[in-house]
Amino acid sequence: MSTTVTVKGQVTIPKPVRDLLGIGPGSKVDFRRTADGSVILSRADDTRPASRFERLRGQAGEGLDTDAIMALTRGDA
């Protein structure tokens, strides 16, 4: 992925990178230079964004209790 530097020295971080790092408006980022001269972009707070599974947790709402599931399985409902 590439991006263009503006006359003010600003760049737009590509959406896939923002999504990967969990970066949104107001997020702080760090730039670190490595020994080989490349630069690494990371979140300044070092927290990992929630995985896609963690984001879905709790979305199903209230479920059936065991007795209701057994009644459905047996055809009692």
What is the Cα–Cα distance from 53 to 20, expressed in whole angstroms? 14
**Pairing mode, strands 29-33 and 39-43:** antiparallel
pTM exceeds 0.85, yes or no: no
What is the Cα–Cα distance from 77 to 68, expressed in whole angstroms? 8
Q: Report the 10 Å Cβ neighbour count for 46.
A: 7
Q: Identify the DSSP state of 60.
A: S
Predicted pLDDT of residue 21: 87
Q: Give the pLDDT band of residue 20 (cuts 50, 70, 90).
A: confident
Identify the CATH number of the domain defined by range 7-51.
2.10.260
Is the Cα torsion angle 44, 48, 52, 54 positive or negative in sign?
Answer: negative
- Ordered by start, the domain boundaries in the chain are 7-51
Choose between 55 and 7: higher pLDDT: 7
Nearest to 26 by CA among 11, 10, 14, 43: 43
